[in-house]
Amino acid sequence: MDEMHRILTRIRIAKLQSEVRAKGGNEAQGVPVRRKRALSASSTGKKQSILGRK
């Protein structure tokens, strides 16, 4: 579980970084990126709890 979660987080971080670079770097690094990270973190938490129940 831990290794899978680490891999998924690395992929998400890489996607976010590529999005920030595509949008133009400094302008996109503000609040929107933080919101996206918070949303992805909450969704991963839900998925983990579902997998844990199984």
Over residues 26-40, the pLDDT tens digits come to: 554 555 555 555 555
Tokens of 9: 């987080």
pLDDT at 4: 93
Least confidently predicted of 2-6, 13-17, 21-25, 39-43: 39-43
Between these two residues, 30 and 2, which has the higher pLDDT value? 2
Q: What's the pLDDT band for 48 if we cut at 50, 70, 90?
A: low
pTM strictly above 0.75 = no
Q: Considering Cα of 11, then 17, then 18, then 19, what sign does the dihedral take?
A: positive
Tokens of 8: 């998924």
